[in-house]
Amino acid sequence: MPDVACLEDVWRREAPYVLAALLRRGDPLEECEDAAQEALVAAAEQWFRDGVPANARGWLIRVASRRLIDAHRADAARRRRELTDDLDRSAPDRSVTWSERTGDLDDSLQMLLLCCHPALPPASAVALTLRAVGGLTTRQIAAGLLVPEATAAQRISRAKATLHAAGARFGPVVLAELPTRLHAVRHVLHLVFTTGAALPVGSDVIDQDLTAEGIRLTERLHRALPRDPETAGLLALMLLVDARAAARVDERGDLVVLAEQDRSRWDHARIRRAIGLLEEALPLGPAGPFQLQAAIAALHAEAQSYADTDWPQILALYRMLLAVAPGPAAELGAAIALSEVDGPESGLAALEPLLAARPRDHRVLAARAHLLEAVGRPEAAAAFRQAATLTDSLPEQNYLRRKSTIAPGHDAVRRRDG
């Protein structure tokens, strides 16, 4: 008999295809999702008793189709005929592997495109993607995004209403719109991953369920578009960051910064795969933001130690990134790389404009504190303490406060606070 984890795995794998089969005929997303959820409830009852059927997807589509037909009894004949066609198209073809079934891949891609519609704000798109494509419950989404369950439910509900108001429907995207829509999809998947990779609130550094979901969905997009260099770059970036996960916390769960990580604990098989993806993607066209970020992460991953890092090359890549996708994160990375190439004083000067623009960004303040410490300036301890007050991550707070107790100027801070 299957356990709860088994049912969750099946649902996460099949959810987008079940919804795709229902949505193809133009029914609103909310109605289709309700029918799919009813099918899942029925599966939980019957599969615990009889076992998971060989064609779980077909079973779920069939049951969900019936629920949808019941909800629209007035046109039951038309819906039954159309959804039966969907069911037939979704039946497994045992002569080919899953990855070779382009129809499945198209459905998965179309679902991602719908959930990441340009009309949706990023927070709503993330929640809807995790629900409709990831198959997560509202409670799981709320836990992963560190928001109340009611907030997650509201984001999903508003996303559905926004799609309905925008006239968005499941189906092929106009070719001219595809680059913009894919850009939105990649952005949402990146948000899913980065939220889990550096939790902004709470006592944990990483939410491995959320990072795994981001990677899983990006793997799916990459299978659909294997020659799209930015999707390959995004997947490579996620794999490179995730490869360091085991070394980012110590046995007490405390944060370990990159310079102090035990690199023997990195997942080197995952690093090799990511670098292979990047090497295949870079020759396909001009490097986009995700490829450049992945190239930076690859240079860190290939260095035998922090001291061996190729900082001049990293600085050059950050400058390329600023040219194609300027933003605070790239500016901060470039300033840190500059400090490694030309010295901490140069880094401090480069941070000044960013600090003026983002005076309450704890990452900018923490970088400044590290550079002040490097040059032995007595403001360092106070800078670490100020950064600690501006983050809601307990591991970051603890790390920054520990640094403040050993940084130059810590005696003055202790006397003042005492």
8 A C-beta contact, residue 281 and residue 232: yes
Instruction: Name the percent of the chain lying above pLDDT 70.
Output: 86
Q: Is residue 15 part of a domain?
A: yes
Summarize the confidence of residues 393-417 as an average pLDDT.
81
For residue 51, being part of any structural domain is answered with yes
Give 193-224 pLDDT, tens digit per residue: 988 898 887 888 898 888 998 998 899 889 88
Q: Which residues contact 241 (CB under 8 A, 6 or more apart)?
A: 193, 197, 297
Q: Are 289 and 323 in contact (CB under 8 A)?
A: no
Q: What are phi and psi of 170, to 5 degrees?
A: -70, 130
pLDDT digits (tens, 9 = 90+) for 314-341: 999 999 999 999 989 999 999 999 999 9
Looking at per-residue pLDDT, the higher value among 36 and 77 belongs to 36
Please name the residue that has the structure tokens 């490694």: 340
Kindly state whether residue 403 falls inside one of the protein's structural domains. Answer: no
Cβ pair 238, 277 in contact under 8 A: no
Identify the pLDDT of residue 78: 45
CA torsion through residues 254, 258, 262, 266, sign: positive
Alpha-carbon separation of residue 245 from 36, 141, 207, 398 (angstroms) = 35, 21, 10, 19
Q: What is the pLDDT of residues 26-56, one digit of tens each?
A: 667 778 888 888 888 888 788 877 788 888 8
Q: Provide the domain limits for residue 36.
A: 1-92
108 band by pLDDT with thresholds 50, 70 and 90: low
Domain membership flag for residue 70: yes
Question: Cβ neighbours of residue 256 under 8 Å, at least 6 residues apart?
Answer: 247, 248, 249, 250
Distance, in Å, from the CA atom of 248 to the CA atom of 265, rounded to the nearest integer, reads: 9
Rounded to an integer, the average pLDDT of 237-245 is 97
68 versus 366: the higher-pLDDT residue is 366
Mean pLDDT in residue range 284-313: 93
CA distances from 379 to 134, 336, 354, 404, 409 (A): 46, 18, 18, 10, 6
Confidence check: pLDDT of 240 > 90: yes
User: pLDDT for 141-151, tens place per residue?
Assistant: 887 676 788 99
Q: What angle do CA 362, 364, 366 make, to 5 degrees?
A: 65
Instruction: Please state the domain count of the chain.
Output: 1
Give residue 112's pLDDT. Answer: 81
Cβ neighbourhood burial of 326 (10 Å; 0-12, 13-18, 19+): exposed
CB–CB of 255/398 below 8 Å? yes
**All residues at 6 or more sequence positions from 2 whose CB lies less than 8 Å from its CB, including other chains:** 10, 47, 48, 51, 52
Residue 1: its pLDDT value, please? 54
For residue 117, is it within any domain?
A: no
Q: Band the pLDDT of 271: cuts 50, 70, 90.
A: very high
Confidence of residue 129 (pLDDT cuts 50, 70, 90): confident
Handedness of CA 297, 299, 303, 308 (dihedral sign): negative
What is the chain's mean pLDDT, rounded? 83
- Model's pTM, two decimal places? 0.74
pLDDT at 74: 42
The two tokens of residue 172 are 């092929």
Give the pLDDT score at 267. Answer: 97
Q: How many CB atoms lie within 10 A of CB 194?
A: 17
Question: How far is Cα 130 from Cα 152, in angstroms, rounded to an integer?
Answer: 11
- The token pair at 115 is 């959930």
* 135, pLDDT greater than 80: no
What the block records as the tokens of 18 is 């079940």
pLDDT for the residue 282: 82
Residue 75 confidence (pLDDT) above 70: no
- Mean pLDDT score, 344-364: 94
Residue 8 in any domain: the answer is: yes
Question: Is residue 174 pLDDT above 80, yes or no?
Answer: no
Residue 153 lies in a domain: no
What's the average model confidence in pLDDT over 78-85? 40
Is 43 within the bounds of a domain? yes
